[in-house]
Chains A and B, each alone.
Chain A
Amino acid sequence: MTSRSPLLARLDSPRVLGYLLITPAAIILLGLLAYPLLLGIWLSLTSATIGKPGEFVGLQNYATIFADPIFRGAALFSVFYTICAEVGKLILGLALALLLNQRFRGYRVSRALMLLPWVAPTVLSALAWLWLLDPQFSAVSWLLIRLHLINSNIDFLGSGWAARFSLIVVNIWRGLPYFAIGYLAGLQSISKDLYEAAAIDGANGWQAFCRITWPLLLPLTTILLAFSSIFTLTDFQLIWTITHGGPTDATQVFTTLAYQRAITGGQLGEGAAIAVSPIVFMVVLAVFVVRSVRDR
């Protein structure tokens, strides 16, 4: 019998091998997630501008942005945008999943087509929506006029609230497949026996949904909602492509304002403070996710 080398013997130790195996993942996490995050936080505490590291200024950038009505408007709209879009995506995504959970002719193709808004490049779909929302050449307005439902074109982007709701609709359209496919997977994991037992007990469809489907989808809902909220709160491409934050800054969100201040305006410190500020919301959401996964 040959004796094992000391190196192999050390690797046999769970403590050594464990650390060794998580090292690549740790390096990736530290390099691609922790470092940029910490750098962003550090920049937000400095007077850095493009090309100049700046000096440590403490919380001055935060004081500046919280005193800025445009930032406050952007923060409020970011939250409003996220809440409205998430509620819309949840309801419509669940409805779509319930529909696609049925067996009908072409159901496989329908499931594949449903993913299109999610897989299409965001900028391309935003440009298509820009055309659909055009004040003069909107296909939506054209159709509604032809159907004699309206008399003149709808001004989708011409006022603050119209533009805000238009963006929310576009975001719902884009994020719908994420919820639908998630719910579809959830629905298919629910045992048919439960529905059969409920039917024997005389439960109708609505009662079966309320007492079986929804409670069993609730943990999944928490995860879908939390991740999607993070994506929505950090949405940039749709808004920047369609409105550039206008009209009159009505559709500015954290990301567009941070981009405007830091990249095109050169104020890295202030832009970083704007970008870092929604982290509070995201940490709450992340804790929510971790807890719900753990509780499950």
Chain B
Amino acid sequence: MSHPDRRRFLELSAAGIGAGALAGGLPGLASAADVVFKPEKDAKLELLRWTAFVPSDQVIWDENTKKFTAATGVPVSIQSLAWGDMAPKAALAAQVGSGPDIIMGWNDDPFVYPDKLVDMTDLVENMGRAHGGWYDNARSYCYDQDVKRWVSLPVGCTGNAVNYRKSWVKEAGFAEFPKDLDGMLKLSRVLKKNGHPTGFALGHAVGDANSWTHWILWAFGGKQANTDNSIAINSAETVNALEYARQLSETMIEGVAGWDDSSNNKAFAGGKIGLTMNGISIWYNGKKDTPDIFPDFANVTPPMGPVKTHTVSNNFTSAFIFKYSKYPNAAKEYMRFMLDKPQAERWVTEMKGYVTPALRAYADLPIWTSDPNITPYRDALASAKYDGYNGKPGKAAAQALDEFVIVDMFADVCVNKMAAKDAARKAETRLATIYKRA
């Protein structure tokens, strides 16, 4: 169901008549999408978003916002917070029923309080139709199966890829980066022997630790839950993944159990490690901060495991509107405008790969093939799975991620030297408690 106060302003056929002409009062909003929402009278919006990872993101987002205000007369005030602080801020807004109209949150955030959020189904479906459809991850993170509606508008992900030093890989005797995990382990061992260890976070690093552990788990066919949400972590596949991680951990630099989300970036830029997994920021920062070694940096889509398909874990971001907002139509129109082609193409291009859009149409932008090191980030969503896979996305999966159950299971094996079977059993117990209470 749509928000009760929402009025569908007009519906245009994709066949042709310009939205601007029909919208009358909104000539600047000609759109490929076939729904435009008429902002409420005297509407004004507050957006809370994560702090831009790259300055051009904020610049273009602000410029597009000004265009929106010029076209609609709706002022938009934007506040930014560090990405790790978005979840508590959004939770607070949900609890007290007051705060920003729109929040750009992460991963499963909207599933923690779906009843507090405006139905986004009409906007999501129409945006999808107009822009080549959504990647599967969009549905996983924004469609709530309990309340049976889209509770958030998918925006995209900060994709993950494997980052390595070209010369060190060549020195290890590999002409190109291995395509599978067995090959990567062989490479990692030689890298370690050559004094260039690998580095993957095993502390409570929200982004980095979750991303690589989930990648390895899924690559071996391990899964947190079954489709009926029964716990499935304690399996032979999980044990194989943990055994692989144990071997990989022997090639890692000391101290990864204490790493946070910035540690691998610093270690990679400082030449301490030769292989890690990260968003594209690690590559761009190298361009800026360590230009002498930057040409040696390279990125590649994470290798496949026995499941013979890529299994990337990303940080997914989406925009949700709270029901307490007095201006839900204006909020929807704002997000529609910002993700619509004229605005989003420039935003995505200028971000140079920091955010991989959830709309498939933007994968064709030239920026993705302008450098082979950017291309893996274009594909981040094409092969991605979701938190709690293969269970039902929702509160339980969100809580399991918050409590680092998968990360801790890997750390138990790699750091605490627990037997893989015991670590899987321990994770099973934790997950059973979490899924029961959620």
- B-contacting residues of A (Cβ < 8 Å)? 49-52, 64, 68, 70, 130, 133-137, 152-153, 155-160, 162-163, 243-249, 259-260, 263-268, 270
B141 CB → nearest A CB, Å = 16
B95/A50 in contact, CB under 8 A: yes
8 Å CB contact of A248 from B115, B253, B259, B412 = B412
8 Å CB contact of A135 from B113, B259, B398, B437 = B259
Q: Is B403 an interface residue (CB 8 A)?
A: yes
Q: Is B247 an interface residue (CB 8 A)?
A: no
Q: Of all chain A residues, which has the CB nearest B114?
A: A51
A245/B204 in contact, CB under 8 A: yes
Q: Is B415 an interface residue (CB 8 A)?
A: yes
Q: Is B255 an interface residue (CB 8 A)?
A: yes
B415 CB → nearest A CB, Å = 6
A270/B395 in contact, CB under 8 A: no
Provide the bound-state CA to CA distance between A25 and B256, in Å: 51
Interface of A: prevailing SS: loop
8 Å CB contact of B204 from A134, A135, A158, A247 = A247
Provide the bound-state CA to CA distance between A265 and B87, in Å: 9
Provide the bound-state CA to CA distance between A270 and B263, in Å: 32
A152/B95 in contact, CB under 8 A: no
Q: What are the nearest 6 A-B pairs in CB distance?
A: A135-B255, A157-B258, A246-B204, A244-B204, A266-B112, A247-B257
B258/A135 in contact, CB under 8 A: yes
Task: List 28 contacting pairs A-B, 8 Å CB cutoff, sorted by A.
Answer: A50-B94, A50-B95, A50-B113, A51-B94, A52-B115, A70-B430, A135-B256, A135-B259, A135-B263, A136-B263, A136-B270, A136-B272, A153-B254, A156-B258, A157-B257, A243-B203, A244-B203, A244-B260, A246-B203, A246-B204, A247-B411, A247-B415, A263-B91, A265-B402, A265-B403, A266-B398, A267-B438, A270-B437
B100 CB → nearest A CB, Å = 16
B416/A158 in contact, CB under 8 A: no
Point out the residues of chain B lying under 8 angstroms from A243, CB to CB. Answer: 203-204, 258
Provide the bound-state CA to CA distance between A70 and B400, in Å: 14
Q: Is B433 an interface residue (CB 8 A)?
A: yes
B310 CB → nearest A CB, Å = 28
Tell me which residues from 242 to 259 in chain B have a Cβ below 8 Å from any Cβ of chain A.
253-259
Q: Of all chain B residues, which has the CB nearest A163?
A: B258
Interface of B: prevailing SS: helix
A50-B113, A136-B272 known; A260-B403 Cβ under 8 A? yes
A256 CB → nearest B CB, Å = 10
Seed contacts A51-B113, A135-B263; 17 additional CB < 8 Å A-B pairs: A49-B395, A52-B115, A134-B263, A136-B255, A157-B203, A158-B256, A163-B258, A244-B206, A247-B203, A247-B204, A248-B257, A263-B91, A263-B92, A264-B88, A265-B398, A267-B437, A270-B437
Provide the bound-state CA to CA distance between A246 and B263, in Å: 15
B113/A247 in contact, CB under 8 A: no
B91/A50 in contact, CB under 8 A: yes
Q: Is B6 an interface residue (CB 8 A)?
A: no
Interface size of B by Cβ–Cβ distance < 8 Å? 44
Provide the bound-state CA to CA distance between A260 and B115, in Å: 21
A246/B113 in contact, CB under 8 A: no
Point out the residues of chain B lying under 8 angstroms from A156, CB to CB. Answer: 258
Q: Of all chain B residues, which has the CB nearest A157?
A: B258
A20 CB → nearest B CB, Å = 33
B415/A158 in contact, CB under 8 A: yes
B269 CB → nearest A CB, Å = 10
Q: Is B3 an interface residue (CB 8 A)?
A: no
Q: Is B267 an interface residue (CB 8 A)?
A: yes
B258/A155 in contact, CB under 8 A: yes
Q: Is B53 an interface residue (CB 8 A)?
A: no
A265/B399 in contact, CB under 8 A: yes
B403/A51 in contact, CB under 8 A: no
Q: Is B170 an interface residue (CB 8 A)?
A: no
Q: Of all chain B residues, which has the CB nearest A135?
A: B255
Point out the residues of chain B lying under 8 angstroms from A248, CB to CB. Answer: 257, 408, 411-412, 415-416
A137/B270 in contact, CB under 8 A: yes
A266/B408 in contact, CB under 8 A: no
Point out the residues of chain A lying under 8 angstroms from B395, CB to CB. Answer: 49, 266
Provide the bound-state CA to CA distance between A135 and B253, in Å: 9
Q: Mark B116-135, 1 if CB is under 8 A from A, else 0.
A: 10000000000000000000
Provide the bound-state CA to CA distance between A248 and B423, in Å: 11
Q: Of all chain A residues, which has the CB nearest B416?
A: A248
8 Å CB contact of B112 from A50, A64, A133, A244 = A50
Tell me which residues from 190 to 206 in chain B have a Cβ below 8 Å from any Cβ of chain A.
202-206
Tell me which residues from 377 to 412 in chain B have a Cβ below 8 Å from any Cβ of chain A.
395, 398-399, 402-404, 407-408, 411-412
Tell me which residues from 202 to 237 in chain B have a Cβ below 8 Å from any Cβ of chain A.
202-206
A134-B266, A136-B267, A248-B415 known; A153-B255 Cβ under 8 A? yes
B412 CB → nearest A CB, Å = 6
